[in-house]
């Protein structure tokens, strides 16, 4: 279960998710068995300009090891510089975002816009491989749109440039998150590329993840949205906990958040994660509205206790 020299303990990895996967969630997912966690995408340009948001995000906490740092940008040298910076701050792997379809990113010619420039994708990986001693990967989509599906070409170029693995979300950029991830494309890439392929898209359980691995020959599978408020999705005991079993999990997460953030920030981060934990439960909408009014972590936990454990 290797990516470059990294030997991972599980084939299930936590997907990068901007605005969702913070350091507290990454530590929790490692505790629950994720083979590796990925940071949300971080602007290489922001790192170069020493912007507070970007440089703070890039640091990996010892408890979240192994942690991959995902960078976005389009300038091979700027990306490489940010990669070096991430390596110095504890990253175990550098991943380059070549799949983000969000306007703000694509407008800069970064993220999924890079799929339209396979030669530049290769130059970026080449430059990163020279800059760091860590494994380098790239996360791609199937292509820009259905008329320009080019994951095979991009995958081959990334490999030639020295990528240790390719992460593949088999939707086009234009598709955003609509329709279904086409896992037959993951199978196709795994067959034609002599590199580990990491599939990402629509996995909802550990069991389904292993089915995808068996069906497609993917070496690893990422879990993204299904891990929000569901850290146990990575664990061997794959059954869904009852609401009252959720409380100790939220309690554990709360302690991490309090350790990692100053008090005011801790309140907003805990609220956000509590909203994920209660998703799909009866009365979640009104609970969410009540949670939003809380001003301390104690108040949030009191509400969660009433909600999950009853009076
Ligand atoms: C809120 C959100 C933020 C995301 N941010 C990133 C990101 O920063 N970098 C990235 O490569 N993919 C990002 N993704 C895509 C996921 O990593 C993943 O490929 C996609 O959600 C499909 O997997 P899933 O169905 O398991 O969520 C994001 C997805 C969501 C829902």
Determine phi and psi for 173, rounding to 5 degrees: -65, -40
Pocket test residue of 16, 94, 165, 178 for ligand 1, highest count of atoms within 8 A of CB: 16
pTM exceeding the 0.85 threshold for the entire prediction:
yes
Condensed to tens digits (0 to 9), the pLDDT of residues 78-88 reads 999 999 999 99
Q: By C-alpha distance, which of 193, 183, 196, 190 is closest to 135?
A: 196
Q: Contact, 81 vs 48, CB < 8 A?
A: yes
Structure tokens at 300: 């949030």
Catalytic: which of 60, 67, 100, 274? 100
pLDDT at 126 over 70: yes
| Mean pLDDT of all residues belonging to the chain | 96
Condensed to tens digits (0 to 9), the pLDDT of residues 183-226 reads 999 999 999 999 999 999 999 999 999 999 999 999 999 999 99
Pocket test residue of 224, 229, 233, 273 for ligand 1, highest count of atoms within 8 A of CB: 224
| 14, containing H or E segment | strand 12-14
Q: What pLDDT shows up at residue 237? A: 74
* Cα 221 to ligand 1 centre (Å): 13
Q: By C-alpha distance, which of 288, 266, 286 is closest to 277?
A: 288
Residue 221 CA to residue 149 CA, distance in Å, equals 21
| Annotated domain spans of the chain | 2-234, 243-309
| Residue 311: count of CB within 10 angstroms of its CB | 4
Please list every protein residue whose CB sits less than 6 Å from any atom of ligand 1. Answer: 15-20, 40-41, 70, 97, 99-100, 139, 169, 200-203, 223-226
* Cα 240 to ligand 1 centre (Å): 22
Q: Is position 274 annotated as part of the catalytic site?
A: no
Residue 95 CA to residue 80 CA, distance in Å, equals 11
Q: Which of the listed CATH numbers 1.10.357.10, 3.20.20.70, 3.30.420.40, 3.40.50.300 matches domain 2-234?
A: 3.20.20.70
Would you place residue 311 in the very low, low, confident or very high pLDDT band (cuts 50, 70, 90)?
low
Task: Give the HSE-up count for residue 152: Cα atoms under 13 Å, Cβ half-sphere.
Answer: 8
pLDDT at 238 over 80: no
Mean pLDDT (whole number) for 15-34: 97
Burial of 225 (0-12, 13-18, 19+ CB in 10 A): middle
């Amino acid at each position: 279960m290797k990516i470059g020299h990294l030997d991972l303990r599980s084939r299930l990895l936590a997907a990068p998710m901007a605005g969702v996967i913070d350091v507290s969630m990454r530590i929790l997912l490692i505790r629950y068995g994720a083979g590796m966690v990925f940071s949300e995408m971080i602007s290489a340009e922001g790192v170069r300009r020493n912007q507070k948001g970007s440089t703070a995000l890039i640091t990996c906490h010892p408890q979240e090891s192994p942690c991959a740092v995902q960078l976005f940008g389009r300038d091979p040298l700027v990306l490489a510089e940010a990669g070096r910076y991430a390596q110095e701050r504890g990253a175990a792997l550098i991943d380059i975002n070549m799949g983000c379809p969000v306007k703000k990113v694509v407008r800069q010619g970064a993220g999924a816009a890079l799929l339209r420039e396979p030669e530049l994708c290769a130059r970026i990986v080449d430059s990163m491989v020279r800059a760091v001693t860590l494994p380098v990967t790239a996360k791609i989509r199937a292509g820009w749109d259905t008329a320009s599906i080019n994951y095979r070409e991009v995958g081959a170029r990334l490999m030639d440039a020295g990528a240790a693995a390719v992460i593949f979300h088999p939707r086009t950029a234009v598709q955003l998150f609509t329709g279904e991830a086409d896992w037959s494309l993951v199978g196709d890439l795994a067959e034609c590329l002599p590199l580990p392929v990491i599939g990402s898209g629509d996995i909802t359980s550990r069991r389904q993840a292993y089915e995808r691995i068996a069906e497609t020959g993917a070496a690893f599978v990422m879990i993204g949205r299904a891990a929000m408020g569901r850290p146990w999705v990575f664990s061997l005991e794959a059954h869904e906990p009852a609401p009252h079993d959720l409380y100790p999990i939220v309690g554990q997460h709360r302690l991490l958040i309090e350790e990692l953030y100053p008090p005011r920030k801790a309140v907003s981060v805990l609220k956000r994660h509590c909203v994920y934990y209660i998703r799909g439960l009866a009365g979640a909408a009104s609970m969410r509205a009540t949670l939003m009014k809380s001003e301390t972590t104690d108040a949030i936990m009191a509400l969660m206790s009433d909600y999950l454990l009853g009076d």
